[in-house]
């Protein structure tokens, strides 16, 4: 019976290690995926912002060019003013000059707005780029960590899987079925030690009489509260020696 209990607890230790390895693996890939997504989104926003700046710059340049053309026209009209022969021609030219000047005023106003927008877009771009470099750094670190853990895990996992196979052949089908059933229902922990006279799984106090019997290691005892298999310190220590 003692060996039977030791084997069950050893299996539990091995499975707990494998669970832990699985947990580490499960967490980092998720993190790397999330960070990659964030980086991709930010890159997209950066390229959109760059396009926005280009478009604004283009519009501002166009307005600039239009202003130059208008200024040239004004110069031309002003020269023509000296050559006109009728009042009607003079008035027509004056109206042209007025209109061109109004357009220049409007364009000047627009250029100020474009420049303000360009500056804002450039500020946004700068903060996006800063954020991107921080995210990329974090992503690089997490990727490295994951690669390292995966490699370390690989060796450890193989080792524990090998140990598991070796211990499985020593456990009866009935014991294994019981173990798997409890393990599935109780968050991976089917066999637990006694901690301060309580169940190591749910911390329910174990009656003294039961503790005395349990320490004789002659029978499979389960916790009245959670149903996990309870083992004595002796079984715990012996199992740890094996693993």
Among 63, 201, 236, 238, binds Zn ion (CB under 5 A): 201
Interface with Zn ion includes 226 (CB under 5 A)?
yes
Residue 99 gets which letter from DSSP? H
Residue 119 vs 205, nearer CB to Zn ion: 205
- Total residues in contact with Zn ion, by rule CB under 5 A: 7
| CB nearer to Zn ion: pick between 56 and 223 | 223
Half-sphere exposure of 149 (CA within 13 A, CB side): 16
Taking a C-beta distance cutoff of 8 angstroms, is the pair 171, 8 a contact? yes
Residue 74 binds to Zn ion (criterion: CB under 5 A)? no
Please count the other Cβ atoms lying within 10 Å of the Cβ belonging to residue 204.
12
- For the CB of residue 203, give the shortest distance to Zn ion in the complex, in Å: 7
Shortest distance in whole angstroms from residue 157 CB to Zn ion: 29
- Using the rule CB under 5 A, is 225 a contact of Zn ion? yes
SS3 state of residue 140 = helix
Shortest reach from residue 152's CB to Zn ion, in Å:
33
The number of C-alpha atoms within 13 Å of 66 and in the hemisphere containing its C-beta is: 17
Q: Are 234 and 8 in contact (CB under 8 A)?
A: no
Closest to Zn ion by CB, 13 or 199: 199
Burial class, 233, CB count within 10 angstroms (exposed 0-12 / middle 13-18 / buried 19+): exposed
In the DSSP assignment, the letter for residue 197 is T
- Least distance between Zn ion and beta carbon 229 (Å): 10
Contact flag: residue 31 with Zn ion (CB under 5 A): no
Q: Does 229 bind Zn ion (CB under 5 A)?
A: no
Residues that bind Zn ion (CB under 5 A): 199, 201-202, 204, 223, 225-226
């Amino acid at each position: 019976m003692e060996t039977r209990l030791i084997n069950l607890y050893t299996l539990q230790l091995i499975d707990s290690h494998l669970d832990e390895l699985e947990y580490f693996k499960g967490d980092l890939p998720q993190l790397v995926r999330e960070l990659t997504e964030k980086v991709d989104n930010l890159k997209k926003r950066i390229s959109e912002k760059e396009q926005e700046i280009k478009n604004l710059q283009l519009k501002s340049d166009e307005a600039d060019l239009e202003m130059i053309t208008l200024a040239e026209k004004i110069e031309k009209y002003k020269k023509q003013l000296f050559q006109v022969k009728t009042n009607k021609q003079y008035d027509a030219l004056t109206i042209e000059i007025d209109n061109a000047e109004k357009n220049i005023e409007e364009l000047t106003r627009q250029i100020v707005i474009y420049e303000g927008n360009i500056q804002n877009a450039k500020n946004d771009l700068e903060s996006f780029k800063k954020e991107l470099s921080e995210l990329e750094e974090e992503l690089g670190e997490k990727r490295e960590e994951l690669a390292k853990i995966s490699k370390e895990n690989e060796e450890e996992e193989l080792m524990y899987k090998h140990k598991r196979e070796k211990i499985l052949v020593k456990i009866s089908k009935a014991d294994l079925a019981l173990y798997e059933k409890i393990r599935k229902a109780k968050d991976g922990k089917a066999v637990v030690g006694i901690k301060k006279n309580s169940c190591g799984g749910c911390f329910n106090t174990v009656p003294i009489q039961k503790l005395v019997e349990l320490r004789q290691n002659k029978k499979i005892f389960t916790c009245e509260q959670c149903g996990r298999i309870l083992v004595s310190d002796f079984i715990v220590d012996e199992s740890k020696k094996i693993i």
